[in-house]
Amino acid sequence: MDTQQNTALTRALAEVPGPLPTRGVIHVVIPHTDRFTVVGNHLAQHPDLSCTAIGIAVLIQSLPQGTEVSIKALAARCREGEKRIAAALRELEAHGYLQRIRHRLTDRKVITRTVFCNQPTALPHPHHPAAQPHPRTTAPADATVRGPARVAVAAPVRVDVPVAVPAPVPAPVPVSASVQAAAPPAQEATPAPPAPGTTTAPPVPGPPSPPSAPGTSPTPPVSPPPPPPLFVPRVPPPTAPKPPRRPLPRPGELTPELDRAATAFLSDLHRHAPQFTLSEDDVRRLVPGVAAWLERAARPDGMRRALTDDPPHPLKHPAKLLTYRLTELLPPAPPGADDLAALARPRVTVTPFQTCDDCDRAFRSPAPGHCRDCRETRAAHAQAAA
C-alpha cells in the first residue's frame, strides 16, 4: 500500500487506441499547442550520428534565428564539454546538417556564419553563380500551366505590349588602313521581330574594351576569375596524410653491456606485468629504446612503472604501446661535468652571531668576545687608568 500509483498515467494508457504491445515502448501522445519543434525521423533515427550529435542538432533547430551556436555558447547550455560538442558539430558538418561559411565584411574583417539545414537531402545541387538574366516572357492570358506549381499566383496574368527599343550603336574600333581594305563589308544583322505577347528586354552593354594599337588585332575579353567556394572545410578529412611518427630512440653507442641489460629487462617484463608478454622479434626491436633509457641513468623500477602502468584494456599490441612510451616518455640526458661545476661552487661565508660577555648583546663575529660598544668602553677605562 506504500507504493504510489500515477493515476494520470493509468488513465492515459487506458485511452491508447488498440491493444497494448507486450514488450517494447508504449507511446502516450499528447498534442503540443505551443513551444514545440518539428524534427524529422531522418535526424532522430540517423544510423551514423551519435546521440550527442542528434541532441545538439535538435537543440540548434529549436533555437530562434540569430542565436549564438558556437562551441562555447553550446557548452554553456549543455552538460557536455567543449570537446564532445566540437566532435558532434563535426559529425553534423560531415552529414550536411551544418555548414560554416567564412564571410568577408566591408571593413576587411572575416566572420564565420553558421547555417543549419533541417533536411539536407532536400537541398538542390551546390549553388553556382547566376548567368546573365534572360528576357522575361509573360505567358498569354489563355495559357495553361503544366506540371506541379510551387507558388500560387493570385493576381491575373498581365499581357505586356511589345515596345520597340533602338539597339545601341557600338563604339568604333580603330583599325589600320590595310586591315580596313582587306576586311569585307560586314552585313548588319536584322533583329527578329518579337513574338506577340512578349516584352523585348534591351541588351545589356558590356564594359568598353580599351582601344588596341594601330596595326594590331583587338584583344579578346578576359573572363573573370571563378568565385571562391562557399564552403571550405577546416577539419582535414580522414584520408589526409598524417605526420610521420618519431623513430625509436637509440643510445650513443650500443655496447654489449647495454644490450644484455636491455634484453634482460624486456625478457623479465612479463613477470611484473603479465599482459606485456613479448616475442623474441619484439625484444630485439625494442632493445635500442631500452638501452637509450639505461644510458640516461634510468633505474629499472622507474622504467617498469613508466612503461607498464595504466595500460588499455584489453591490450592487443603490447609491443606498439612500449614503442610509443619509449619514444614519448624518454627522460632527459643527465647533466655533464660542466653543468655540475656550477653547483659545486663555494657559497658565500656568513659570519655567525655571538653573545657579548658583558651586556649579553648579540653581534656578528667569527669568535666569541665583546661587542663594539663594550670594547670601546673597556678601552676608555684603560686609558683613564693609565
User: For 7-29, what is each residue's pLDDT tens digit?
Assistant: 776 676 667 777 777 788 887 77
Cell (9 digits) for 128? 553556382
Comparing CA positions, the residue from 101, 87, 96, 99 lying closest to residue 53 is: 87
Please name each of the domains of the chain with its CATH number: 41-121 (1.10.10), 256-328 (no CATH), 353-381 (no CATH)
Question: Tell me: the pLDDT tens digits for 104-126?
Answer: 888 888 888 889 998 888 877 54
Name the grid cell of 280. 623474441
Tell me the mean pLDDT in the region 54-69.
92
* CB contact set of 24 (below 8 Å; sequence gap of 6+): none
- The percentage of the chain sitting over the pLDDT mark of 90, rounded to a whole number, equals 31
> Which cell is 354 given?
655571538
Between CA 270 and CA 312 the distance in angstroms is 16
Confidence band (pLDDT; 50, 70, 90) for 243?
confident
Q: Is the pLDDT of residue 130 over 70?
A: no
Looking at this protein, which amino acid is placed at residue 317? H
- What digits encode the pLDDT tens for the residues 198-219? 555 555 555 555 555 555 566 6
Single-letter residue type at 162: P
- In three-state secondary structure terms, 101 is strand
Q: pTM value?
A: 0.33
**Distance between CA 43 and CA 49 in Å, rounded?**
8
1: which residues sit within 8 A by CB, 6+ positions away?
Answer: none
Q: What is the tens place of the pLDDT at every residue in 140-175?
A: 444 444 444 443 434 444 444 444 444 555 555 444
60 φψ region: left (φ > 0), alpha (ψ -120 to 50), beta (else): alpha
